[in-house]
Chains A and B, each alone.
Chain A
Amino acid sequence: MRVAEDRELAGVLRFITCGSVDDGKSTLIGRLLHDTRQILEDQLAAVASASARRGLAAPDLSLLTDGLEAEREQGITIDVAYRYFATARRKFIIADTPGHEQYTRNMATGASTADAAVVLADATRGLLPQGRRHLYLAHLLGIRNLVVAVNKMDLVGYAEARFEEVREAFTAYARRLGIRRLEFVPVSALEGGMVAGRGESMPWYPGQTLLEYLESCPAAESGAAGPLRLPVQLVQRVAGARRYLGRLASGALGRGDEVLVLPAARRTRVARLFGPEGECAGAKAGESVALEFADEIDVSRGDLVVHAARAPQAQRSLRATLVWFADRPLSRGARYLLKHGTRTVPARVASVEHAIDLRALAPAAAPAGLAMNDIGAVRLELAQPLHADAYAENRAAGAFILIDPASHHTVAAGMVR
């Protein structure tokens, strides 16, 4: 294992890997971990013996991440697995997301917290429907750092021409989606070329290795530049004062700031601010804080602290894109609990506007509602007003989940339009 040491870029980059079942995702992750020396002897020995039991000549690096028994039996990844590694520059959290169509929910899960997405393409097969779906989902979930790893270059003789063909197919598709920036790296997860090291098989390729890309791409773009959104998690009474605990979803906050507490829209001033190290003058997106206000006002869990000048509008009706997870289809009139930030409100499906046909990349009528793994546009009516942002503008403040009030299952991921 290596330790993140860089002072500038240190911190954490979360990324997902996604692709079709046979694109070699697990092998690619195994390769990244192996070549950055994260794989320890006992893990390698376990992989070697498991590979031998399966009659394989060489250790199958994909066995490092295919963690559940059921998956090992089927030879596919059925759930998101999180893996960790660090280089001299950064700590990384990988969400290894499955390519099987029926497990779209897991890809959405991994993508929701990712700063970057590595979409795998099989150089021998090019752009497949699954690849389209993954690129679409990564873009839909607001990931700005997108890189296509054109894998299995060893099977096409490391031919630059084939890499260019695949690149063109993806680029054309990405343009239709409105993706502004898409990077490409030709790799061989099996042989290791252009993953962590350059290897010697693709001297024609001048760009970064996949690892160099991941080491240098910017982490969460939400950052301090966005509007202040601080959902209140808890109210504490200590020594006569009330403290409000929460984490900044976006923006920045300073001691003395005039703020608005929604939904009651009460104005007050931040009298004191506390971070993990004690009292402080300011805090930014991602930081957990405690606040004391100058005035005694009624604030409870689920309230939202914002700056008055950049306050979101109250909405009793939301237009949203949903990724539907449940066995039972989503239909008009159904009632759910909607969790946004720390606020949970009852919601009713007023209409299902359309579903997305991922082949045609176009809205299609959805008379039967949304089935499992469908993506669609809906209008929701809310029992209480919600102060949400558009997801495309503010990931942290535009996301919600729907919970079935009877089963308590999380049935949908939602993004405010």
Chain B
Amino acid sequence: MTPDRAHLDWLESESIFILREVAGECARPVLLFSGGKDSLVLLRLAEKAFRPGRFAFPLLHVDTGHNFPEVIEFRDRRAAELGETLLVRPVEDSIARGTVRLRAGESRNAAQSVTLLEAIEEFGFDAAIGGARRDEEKARAKERVFSFRDAFGQWDPRQQRPELWDLYNPRVNPGEHVRVFPISNWTELDVWQYIAREKLEVPAIYYAHRRAVVRRRGLLVPVTPLTPPGAGDAVEEVSVRFRTVGDVSCTCPVESTAATPEAVIAETAAARLTERGATRMDDRTSEASMERRKREGYF
């Protein structure tokens, strides 16, 4: 027995129960899969919930087109290994349709909401399973496990359905849907402990590697074609790893030498900044920026 078995078992069992409830109650669920660590944990939980049967849902990636190439390669490989259906809906298509219009230099991250809602409408999904965790951010801390979205994809924090015991209520009218968060009760540390215990492979950029970065407002901004250094920026090569792997244009790595899950766990346990605070430029916009995006349909 590994030391952390008891609390990981508890979390795992709860998450399996939630995934099976989605399958039992919802007609057309989908699992949002980005290739990131939280969605990889979801896939392992889905294996435990449904194998040797097939998953009760396809996988969907809402692709900003601004990805770390390793993550996309990983995404495709993992879906193929599992033999499950992977749907990809690019934000680029929404831009071409004119449903997403961005200001010059604006990140595509928030625009994912539009593309996601379009995909939900296209396939008639009534439940979208995501890997969000309540420990990520204050607005998320108030999110239900089964979280209702109206026909515009909006979240109304004042009108959330009471969620009691493990009696979830995913009933919706046509056009509405629920977002389901099976790992709501997991923390970043739990996720890494589970990755270590289950020996889950995650994209290599989650582990320490050398990368050209620019220091800006306390963040390490990776030098990429989308985020080139400005005039006067000093480019350094630093040993870093990513704590989240979102859109390239707004995701920053942290300095790290952790090359294994165990080393990441040790660093996470000693971390002095939150996952989003250390890595996400977009969350810093205002004290309540996540809440505003969530109301508009962001996951």
Cβ contacts A9-44/B at 8 Å (1 or 0 each): 011100000000000000000000000000011110
In Å, the complex CA distance between A81 and B292 comes to 17
Q: Are B269 and A93 in contact (CB under 8 A)?
A: no
Q: Are A82 and B161 in contact (CB under 8 A)?
A: no
Inter-chain contacts of A108 with B (CB < 8 A): 162, 164
Q: Smallest CB–CB gap between A233 and chain B, Å? A: 4
Inter-chain contacts of B291 with A (CB < 8 A): 67-69
In Å, the complex CA distance between A410 and B16 comes to 23
From the candidates A42, A67, A78, A339, name the one contacting B139 in the complex (CB within 8 A).
A67
Q: Answer yes or no: A195 CB below 8 A from chain B CBs.
A: no
Q: Are A413 and B273 in contact (CB under 8 A)?
A: no
From the candidates A4, A67, A81, A301, name the one contacting B7 in the complex (CB within 8 A).
A4
Q: Smallest CB–CB gap between A252 and chain B, Å? A: 14
Inter-chain contacts of B1 with A (CB < 8 A): 7
Contacts A12-B7, A245-B20 known; A236 to B53 CB distance under 8 Å? Answer: yes
Q: Are B165 and A40 in contact (CB under 8 A)?
A: no
Q: Are A12 and B17 in contact (CB under 8 A)?
A: no
Q: Smallest CB–CB gap between A238 and chain B, Å? A: 5
Q: Smallest CB–CB gap between A255 and chain B, Å? A: 18
Q: Smallest CB–CB gap between B174 and chain A, Å? A: 12
Q: Are A401 and B169 in contact (CB under 8 A)?
A: yes
Interface centre among A3, A43, A90, A342 (most CB of B within 10 A): A3
Cβ contacts B2-15/A at 8 Å (1 or 0 each): 01111101111100
| B193 to chain A: closest residue by CB | A3
Q: Are B17 and A67 in contact (CB under 8 A)?
A: no
Q: Smallest CB–CB gap between A406 and chain B, Å? A: 10
Q: Are A70 and B185 in contact (CB under 8 A)?
A: no
Inter-chain contacts of A234 with B (CB < 8 A): 20, 23-24, 56
Inter-chain contacts of B52 with A (CB < 8 A): 238-239
Q: Are B273 and A40 in contact (CB under 8 A)?
A: yes
Cβ contacts A351-386/B at 8 Å (1 or 0 each): 000000000000000000000000000000000000
| B48 to chain A: closest residue by CB | A276
Interface residues of A in 148-189 (CB under 8 A from B): none
Q: Are A10 and B272 in contact (CB under 8 A)?
A: no
Q: Answer yes or no: A317 CB below 8 A from chain B CBs.
A: no
Q: Are A276 and B12 in contact (CB under 8 A)?
A: yes
In Å, the complex CA distance between A410 and B20 comes to 20
Q: Are A3 and B12 in contact (CB under 8 A)?
A: no
| A288 to chain B: closest residue by CB | B16
Q: Answer yes or no: A112 CB below 8 A from chain B CBs.
A: yes
Q: Answer yes or no: A119 CB below 8 A from chain B CBs.
A: no
From the candidates B11, B158, B161, B277, name the one contacting A409 in the complex (CB within 8 A).
B161
Q: Answer yes or no: B62 CB below 8 A from chain A CBs.
A: no
Cβ contacts B125-152/A at 8 Å (1 or 0 each): 0000000001100110110000000000
Interface residues on B, range: 35 or more
Q: Are A399 and B16 in contact (CB under 8 A)?
A: no
Cβ contacts A389-417/B at 8 Å (1 or 0 each): 00000011001110100001110010000
In Å, the complex CA distance between A108 and B164 comes to 7
Q: Answer yes or no: B163 CB below 8 A from chain A CBs.
A: yes
Q: Are A91 and B7 in contact (CB under 8 A)?
A: yes
Cβ contacts B61-93/A at 8 Å (1 or 0 each): 000000000000000000000000000000000
Q: Smallest CB–CB gap between B199 and chain A, Å? A: 13
Q: Smallest CB–CB gap between B266 and chain A, Å? A: 9
A-B contacts, CB under 8 A, total = 180
Cβ contacts A326-358/B at 8 Å (1 or 0 each): 000000000000011010000000000000000
| A91 to chain B: closest residue by CB | B7
Q: Answer yes or no: B157 CB below 8 A from chain A CBs.
A: yes
Inter-chain contacts of B11 with A (CB < 8 A): 12
In Å, the complex CA distance between A70 and B6 comes to 38
Q: Smallest CB–CB gap between A102 and chain B, Å? A: 11
Q: Are A247 and B163 in contact (CB under 8 A)?
A: no
Inter-chain contacts of B278 with A (CB < 8 A): 42
Q: Are B16 and A276 in contact (CB under 8 A)?
A: yes
Q: Answer yes or no: A99 CB below 8 A from chain B CBs.
A: no
Q: Are B141 and A42 in contact (CB under 8 A)?
A: no
In Å, the complex CA distance between A394 and B98 comes to 55
In Å, the complex CA distance between A234 and B272 comes to 43
Q: Answer yes or no: B101 CB below 8 A from chain A CBs.
A: no
Q: Answer yes or no: A143 CB below 8 A from chain B CBs.
A: no
| B133 to chain A: closest residue by CB | A84
Q: Are A399 and B167 in contact (CB under 8 A)?
A: yes
From the candidates B157, B173, B184, B269, name the one contacting A68 in the complex (CB within 8 A).
B157
Contacts A238-B52, A342-B24, A399-B165 known; A408 to B269 CB distance under 8 Å? Answer: no
In Å, the complex CA distance between A413 and B161 comes to 11
Interface residues of B in 251-268 (CB under 8 A from A): 265, 268
Q: Are B16 and A109 in contact (CB under 8 A)?
A: no
In Å, the complex CA distance between A72 and B139 comes to 12
Q: Are B277 and A43 in contact (CB under 8 A)?
A: yes
| A109 to chain B: closest residue by CB | B162
Q: Smallest CB–CB gap between B289 and chain A, Å? A: 10
| A6 to chain B: closest residue by CB | B3
Q: Are A276 and B162 in contact (CB under 8 A)?
A: no
Inter-chain contacts of A236 with B (CB < 8 A): 50, 53
Q: Are B164 and A67 in contact (CB under 8 A)?
A: no
Q: Answer yes or no: B95 CB below 8 A from chain A CBs.
A: no
Q: Answer yes or no: B234 CB below 8 A from chain A CBs.
A: no
From the candidates A81, A286, A339, A408, name the one contacting B172 in the complex (CB within 8 A).
A408
In Å, the complex CA distance between A42 and B52 comes to 44
Interface centre among B1, B21, B141, B164 (most CB of A within 10 A): B164
Inter-chain contacts of A202 with B (CB < 8 A): none
For the complex with contacts A108-B164, A401-B165, A410-B169, 12 further pairs of A-B residues with Cβ separation under 8 Å are A1-B189, A10-B4, A12-B7, A70-B157, A79-B158, A84-B185, A84-B187, A233-B23, A325-B162, A395-B165, A399-B167, A401-B164
29 chain-A/chain-B pairs, Cβ below 8 angstroms = A3-B4, A5-B3, A5-B4, A7-B1, A11-B6, A67-B141, A68-B139, A68-B157, A69-B288, A69-B291, A78-B158, A79-B157, A82-B134, A83-B134, A93-B185, A113-B166, A233-B20, A234-B20, A237-B53, A239-B52, A243-B53, A247-B17, A288-B13, A342-B24, A401-B169, A403-B169, A410-B162, A410-B164, A413-B164
